[in-house]
Amino acid sequence: MRRLRNVKIVATLGPASNDYDTIRALHETGADVFRLNMSHGSHNEIRERHQIIRQVEKDLDSPIAILADLQGPKLRVGEFANDAEELEEGAAFRLDLDPALGDGSRVCLPHPEIFAALEPGARLLVNDGKIRLVVQDCGQDHANCTVEVGGTISDRKGVNVPDVVLPLAALSAKDRDDLEFVCQLGVDWLGLSFVQRAKDVFEARALADGRASILSKIEKPAAVEAFEEILDASDGIMVARGDLGVELPVSAVPPIQKRLVRRCRAAAKPVIVATQMLESMIESPMPTRAEVSDVATAIYEGTDAIMLSAESAAGSYPIEAVQTMNKVAIEVEADPTYTQIISASRTAKGTTIADGIVAAAREIAEKTDIKAICCFTQSGTTALLTARERPGVPIIAMTPATGTARRLCLSWGCHCVMTPELERFKGAVVNAARTARASGFATETDQIVVTAGVPFNVPGTTNILRIAPCDERLIYNTDPG
């Protein structure tokens, strides 16, 4: 299924999008990746959505990536005798391990690991930062705080601790159960929530044991500080701006987003920009101009993918939200300024043979009348390196590995096609020419660039670049391989 854009669209599934017809329509409209939010829905519901996605994939003969987003450790206050209390600015308020119902002066915070890490002056943000507490003194079982920003505090509200690295595993017991469940189902990507350090990624990778790629969500200040190590340990990144905007000043989020996207591009690892992209479309068929501008900004930055959360999972207009993203992406990528920005922000300086091959493929494609770059890839690395170049022509990623085709659905510009295992380069060139024509990227009179590795079907062997005609008769007459 050919897209008329390079950036990919991730759509979260939920109550508004859990049947075959809606999921198929979302994919046909533009969703390349479906996100299963493990914070909501039973294992049976997740299994049903997974089965529907795979049926749509089969019916449309179109690879689809599935991202299972793990919940991560959730920190919450306990319950109140009156269900809720009003906290006034400047008042004293205590958090402790006492399970007794809370009142206007205290409440239980059943997380001893938080108290173990707190120091005077640290901030505690309650209910997405609507209430802000500052620690005055603390011990192993309590923290006496001053209310910096007041408001209504009620049962089970979430708590963020932005100023310290918490001694928490990124995977709770629920996450471990969910991870094993979705890996057995056969998802392509695992989203790790509240990652703080590379160690968190290593733990998830060991449990996944090669069954899914690891995507780390950057939503804590500690993750921003340790980003290089987290990026090295991960297969992909999500810039999760919701919690990031709670724990950091909102003014800091846009420059962080730009830096992280650029670093991911240089590392040839896919990056998603997520959270509140078309928030108003949960209830309205039309987005705000500011939201459209936000989506466009992420595309101009060269992100691999943009994501819908509640808009497609629980909103009234899930298909319209995907349509809107698709239209914005097509419009932005047709803008000459987009090409200039992408070209100017290209920073990759690889030193391997594969780096040289893909860089040469891009330059040839952009300086001559080449219609597409066809790359044969076993593990996906060649396609990722090609996508890093952000070429001005389509990328056709051809692979005999179903898992590779699905995972690459998250990567910028990759049109993923399943191909049989090949033994000779001439057969690969013929296959590429046929695919370019069949997918509408080229005609018999056009030329394409073909990259591959010999011997075939061995990861990491990219070593050939060929400019090939799309007319098979010319290939057979001129190609000695």
Q: Which residue of the set 5, 8, 35, 157 is catalytic? A: 35
Tokens at residue 17, please?
């999008």
Q: Please tell me which residue in 76, 176, 197, 199 is annotated as part of the active site.
A: 76
For residue 266 the two structure tokens come to: 């240089």
Does residue 106 have an active-site annotation? no
DSSP H helical segments within 275-352, as ranges? 289-300, 310-313, 318-333, 336-344
Backbone φ, ψ for residue 222 (5° rounding): -60, -35
Please give the C-alpha separations between residue 65 and each of 23, 331, 357, 479, in angstroms, as whole numbers. 13, 24, 27, 35
3-state secondary structure (DSSP) of residue 187: coil
Residue in 275, 303, 435, 451 annotated catalytic:
275
Is residue 444 within 8 Å of residue 471, measured between CB atoms?
yes
H/E stretch holding 48: helix 43-60
Q: Is 363 helix (H, G, I), strand (E, B) or coil?
A: helix
Tokens coding 324? 């809107």
Annotation says 217 is catalytic: yes
What letter would DSSP give residue 73?
P
Burial letters 82-120, b for 16+ CB under 10 A, else e? eeebebeeeeebbbbebeeebeeebbbbebeebbebbee
CB 145 within 8 A of CB 133: yes
* Residue from 8, 205, 217, 407 carrying the catalytic annotation: 217
Is the separation of the CB atoms in 377 and 397 below 8 Å?
yes
Give the H/E segment covering residue 273.
strand 271-274
Residue 376 structure tokens: 């044969």
User: Is residue 35 annotated as part of the catalytic site, yes or no?
Assistant: yes
By annotation, the residues acting in catalysis are: 35, 76, 217, 275
